[in-house]
Amino acid sequence: MDVLKKSVLILLCFVSIQLSAQKIAKIEPPFWWTEMHNTKLELMVYGKNIAQLTPKITNKAITILGITKTENPNYLFIKLELKNAKAGVFTINFTKKNKVITHYNYQLKQREKDAALRKSFDSSDVIYLLMPDRFANGNPNNDSSPELKEKVDRAFKGGRHGGDIEGIIKHLDYLQELGVTAIWSTPLLEDNDERYSYHTYGQSDVYRIDPRYGTNEDYKRLATEMEKRGMKLIMDYVTNHWGAEHWMIKDLPTYTWIHQFPGYANSNYRMTTQFDPNASAIDKKYCMDGWFVPSMPDLNQSNPLVLTYLIQNAIWWIEYTGLDGFRVDTYSYNDKEAIAKWTRAITNEYPYFNIVGEVWMHNQAAIAYWQKDSKIGAIQSYNSYLPSVMDFTLHDAISSMFNEDNASWSNGMIKAYENFVNDYLYTNPNNLLVFAENHDTQRLHHLLNNDIQKYKLVMTLIATVRGIPQIYYGSEIGLTGNKDNGDGDIRKDFPGGWPSDTNNAFVKEGRTKRQQELFAFTSKLFQWRKQQPLIHTGKTTHYIPENNVYVYFRHNDKDAVMVVINNSVNPQTLQLSRFSESIKNHLKGKDILTGNTVDLYKGNILVKGKTSLILELE
């Protein structure tokens, strides 16, 4: 064989090997739906040297609008027009010199009727925040996974303890008894970090439920079981970062997929730079582009490929699972223009879909900036399109004021009053998330020194003010913990969630006397709230606190509820003439907490120390 023939043969063998290696490892989204509001779809195709191939579709109802290649030959992005597409499977041929090297059968599903009009969570709901790994272990067989690094270790506070989706499903009756109408679970998507993966904010695959929680089908089943009970499922969505173990981070589609400095740089966490007119460019950059922590690479939402990927992933989970809302982690650390596009794309697809963003700031103007149609944001021609934000200033007040027995000009219940005087800054105060604690803050019972009466005052406030109340798992039975001892201490296992637990607080007969008192109060309060449209959407009139007593009314043109919170340790006598503009011609009030009737026509009422009244006026 002469040299030329040998060279040709070697070249042909090399080409054959190269072509055979060009197989598709992933296409995301894995499937899609017809009849979406946005009829365009961008497929991310991943496979070794896949960019050497040209995609072709013979289905005339589907048009390839464009193909994007990056410096990484293992990625190919295909933009499709699906306006005329029908449900079914179509074939994408990947060709080289008009020869089909490989192909992929892609499925389009029929969209459910009225899927776009789904009702989301709102001020009529009570949201229960839980950490699935710490709530209940419904299926011990999935506590560890051979595919993932971290194995179950319940003895380690920061380890995986085995709670899962099945555990949530098995205790939906408990949550209903408590008065809960919606569940916000911290993330359930795969997190393959070697340690501390239980919180699941360092995600390694955003199209897959972590196998230690269950399967995608299990998550969909949770949504279905909740829907049967008239309950709503809220997904904790992370737009700002992924985990360092994410398969795409390990083989970046493009250098600009994440923020590079080059490599790692930490955020300065100064979210005020996002709107500060005097901020330096470098400070803005390090807030928005800096990584949250070294193990969480910061996503570059200003890259159109990244933004489209995140939009489609979010819509995929809504459509696939039947979700009722999002809570978005670290919302104000994102590229603010890009996150507004992400939010608007979702609410364009689902006009009634509620999204609450974590904007952990400490004054109302700064928080209000991020709510949809904000008058403050409009000063800078900015609109986040975010329907709901978290009322962190109320949380700040709650963290201290109930331990301030002796009121002063700035201490005690005046902190609650001063929080609500700034409601004019928000475009929709009824759509604020109100809470006393969450998975990142100090445990409420720790702050209150396990004082049951103080806890009841806090819950009375949360249940009766404007907005959407959120409670943190275990508070209703006295679960406590000190954040100073590490996050694991404020994220303890719910007693009774594991077969070996000796204390089962999920059932009345398993609770201690203290647990039952707390549960009974919380349940009574929130069961009542469920049936009170006046609390959901009524107006508020409040009165400057005197002697550490805060009085406010939730009312409409006809009916009213009078709330009295006595934060003093001493009994207080209220002269009702001061509240006559709100009491009007009502003569009596029934206290929903005790069932007692209070005569308003007598001119005054006595309120015991550290107690509250919720009076339905008659």
What residues act catalytically? 329, 358
With beta carbons less than 8 A apart as the criterion, state whether 179 and 535 touch.
no
Q: Which tokens belong to 409? A: 């000009």
CB-based contact 443:477 (threshold 8 Å): no
Residue type at position 470: Q
CB environment 485-504: b (16+ within 10 A), e (fewer): eebbbbbbbbbbbbeebeeb
Number of other CB atoms surrounding residue 608 within 10 Å: 14
Residue with tokens 């299990």: 218
605, 617 Cβ separation under 8 angstroms: no
Whether the CB-CB separation of 181 and 529 falls below 8 Å is answered with no
Structure tokens at 9: 């043969």
Residue 59, exposed/middle/buried by CB under 10 A (0-12, 13-18, 19+)?
middle
With tokens 């390839």, the residue in question is 64
Output Rg (C-alpha) for the chain, integer angstroms: 27
Written as six digits, the tokens of 48 are: 């070794």
* Three-class DSSP category at 158: coil
Q: Roughly what angle, to the nearest 10 degrees, separates helices 452-464 and 392-401? A: 150
Give the tokens for residue 347. 């609410």
Name, in order, each residue with C-beta under 8 angstroms of 274's C-beta and a sequence gap of 6 or more: 284, 287, 288, 332, 336
Q: What are the distances in angstroms from CA 327 to CA 184, 206, 236, 412, 439?
A: 8, 16, 5, 31, 13
User: Smallest Cα–Cα separation from 206: which of 196, 192, 195?
Assistant: 192
Residue 165 near residue 176, CB atoms below 8 Å: no
CA distance 334 to 268: 13
Contact predicate 188/135, CB 8 Å: no
